[in-house]
Structure 1
Amino acid sequence: MPCPICRKPTVQAYRPFCSKRCADVDLARWLNGAYAIPAVEEDDPDAEDAALPAPRDATS
């Protein structure tokens, strides 16, 4: 399996990378937000409850 950064053969000590440099490049990409896991935003159930009118007091 080649290094995912530079495509050179991997080195056991830095697997799946070929060197510390490529491992650091990958870490920097994660920290800078270059890599992102896609997510689907779900509706906030609390926000829906806030949009509804407050229940009326039975004594009114």
Structure 2
Amino acid sequence: MACPICNKAGVPQYRPFCSKRCADIDLGRWLRGAYVIPGQPLDDLASDGVPDGEGHEKNRDGGLDSRGKRP
């Protein structure tokens, strides 16, 4: 399998990459957000006001649960 960064032959130790350098380049791209799936941003989907499956709207501040907490 060819290295996805430089197209050299892959090395089993760094599979599918050919070296630590190419593996690090790929990791850097992930961390910078260079790899994205095209589509509507998740922020737009979460703020559309459509209730979730439990009958209450999702928490606007990004939390998982909009119900009050127990003392």
TM-score range, shorter chain: 0.5 to 0.7
Which residue of the partner structure matches residue 44 of structure 1? 49
Which residue of the partner structure matches residue 10 of structure 1? 10
| Unmatched 5+ stretches in structure 2 | 51-56, 59-71
**Bigger helix fraction:** 1
Give the TM-score taking structure 1 as reference length.
0.66
**Moved beyond 4 Å, runs of 4+:** none
Please report how far the alpha carbon of residue 37 of structure 1 lies from its aligned counterpart in structure 2 after TM superposition.
2.8
Structure possessing the higher radius of gyration over alpha carbons = 1
Which residue of the partner structure matches residue 35 of structure 2? 35
How many pairs are equivalent? 47
Output the aligned Cα RMSD. 2.0
Give the TM-score taking structure 2 as reference length.
0.56
For the structure 1 residues 28 and 13, does the alpha-carbon distance in structure 2 shift closer, same or farther, using more than 3 Å as the test?
A: same
Please report how far the alpha carbon of residue 36 of structure 1 lies from its aligned counterpart in structure 2 after TM superposition.
1.2
Q: Which has the higher contact order (CA 8 A, sep 6+)?
A: 1
